Amino acid sequence: MVARNRGGVNNAGLGGGTGGRNVLCTPAVTATCHDAVDPSSRVYLDWNAGAPLRPEVRAALVDLVQTMGPGNPSSIHGEGRAARSLVERARRQVAEAVGAFPLDVVWTSGGTEANALAILGTLGAASGPVDVAFDPLAHPSVLETLREAEARGRARLVRLPLASDGRIDLAQAEAMLARARPAFVTVSLASHELGVVQDTATLSTLARAAVPEAVVHVDAVAAFGKVPVDVAGTGADLMSLSSHKIGGPPGAGALVVRRGLRLDPPIRGGGQERGIRPGTEPVLAIAGFGIAAERGACELGETAERLARLHAHARAELSSLAGVRIHGAREASTHDTLLVECEGAEGQLVVMALDLEGFAVSRGAACSSGTATEVAALLATGHGKVAARQAIRVSFGPDTTTAELDAFARALERVLSRIRGAHARSEAAPAREVRP
């Protein structure tokens, strides 16, 4: 370790740089994850929180790290143009994957920011409070943004009606939309907790029958790469996407904005992304996002078929366990997600016990899994707090094997036996006398 006086004169702050402070400089070290787990001893079943980096994306990023210059994509010199070329190539790749025009793709830092930009940008462009119809199964980034907007008097909220399996009840929705006449509708193409796929095309038609100029936002983060996603086909004016849910790097997302739609961006700054989302674009993350989107689109048919087989297998195995119930629609599904209710066992305990067994699962959205005690999707579909406390989310991908799902089912059976046994012994134990 070397102590350097970077001020250049003395320690009284007369020099430049750090004002004469002693700065301790250590040799550069390779960044490693000190809490890393051995993947060979683990089974990863939390793909909805983040999919493993695709091998071709990893290879491309390693090459870019070694060859890419320091250029800012907004600069007009050679280095800047090289960075801009990567950004625009990825824009074309993502646009083609969802049937959009490249200029309609606006880069964000991820799905959460894309959702916030869609909501706040739309509300900000309105002259007063906006009537909003929302999907109760939406991601927390949608629900919390809407609640804050309502608290500030910028939105009046009405829930879209749900059936018990999580699908929007379109007959009830038609009557509700005609009555409430919302100018903004936000819906998830697929639920991140149930995997249920919504008929957003019909919903958008119903919304515009009630209000012809209604703006429809579709959060496609949980659907992208698993089911066909087409901007026009979903009826979306705005569509949110995320890189790390499809095997790209974290730190990149996109909001597809229909040409001609005016947004009032909540962030001010430079003119990047047509002024809708100012700030220097993260070139590496965006480049990886583009590659993941392109490869995912090419392999979608094969991926969907494999996920359907894995889903059916896992559902059958888990349903055979005592006191286990699977929630969500069987067919209108991304086929990569199972919300599993474990009777007589708190979901948080089950997640922790499975982790010790070598299986990574979750309670729901990673954004709120550390604070939520109940799975929101089961509350929204009327299954009650007990079921919501006893649920875990299992999500997988095309690299998952049936052997891994079989091993998971056996591990879950062991874990539930231990937890239920401990609970039964606790209930049977005589109460201790408490003396003053």
For residue 10, what pLDDT is reported?
40
* Digit-coded pLDDT (tens) for 337-383: 999 999 999 999 999 999 999 999 998 765 554 555 789 999 999 99
SS3 134: strand
* Bridge pairing between strands 215-219 and 337-342: unpaired
Least confident segment among 87-101, 188-202, 319-333: 319-333
Nearest to 100 by CA among 297, 305, 267, 334: 297
Q: How confident is the model at residue 194 (pLDDT cuts 50, 70, 90)?
A: very high
Q: How confident is the model at residue 23 (pLDDT cuts 50, 70, 90)?
A: low
Q: Where are the domains of the chain?
A: 57-298, 300-423
For residue 17, what pLDDT is reported?
46
Average per-residue pLDDT in the chain?
A: 90
- Is the pLDDT confidence value at 147 over 90? yes
| CA 390, chain centre distance (Å) | 22
For residue 284, what pLDDT is reported?
96
* Domain 300-423 annotated CATH 3.90.1150.10: yes
Catalytically annotated residue among 25, 298, 342, 367: 367
Backbone dihedral angles phi then psi of residue 254, each to the nearest 5 degrees: -155, 150
Nearest to 268 by CA among 276, 258, 280, 260: 276
Share of the chain above pLDDT 70, in %: 88
Hey, do 57-298 and 300-423 end up sharing a CATH topology, with the first three levels equal?
no
Nearest to 258 by CA among 216, 305, 199: 216
* Digit-coded pLDDT (tens) for 90-132: 999 999 999 999 999 999 999 999 999 999 999 999 989 999 9
Q: How far apart are CA 144 and CA 153, in angstroms?
A: 14
Kindly state the average pLDDT of the residues 418-431.
78
367 is annotated as an active-site residue: yes
Q: How far apart are CA 325 and CA 341, in angstroms?
A: 5
Kindly state the average pLDDT of the residues 25-52.
76
Concatenated DSSP letters of 257-305: E-TT-----SS-SS-GGGGTS-S---HHHHHHHHHHHHHHHHTHHHHHH
Q: How far apart are CA 355 and CA 42, in angstroms?
A: 9
State the fold for domain 57-298. Aspartate Aminotransferase; domain 2 (3.40.640)
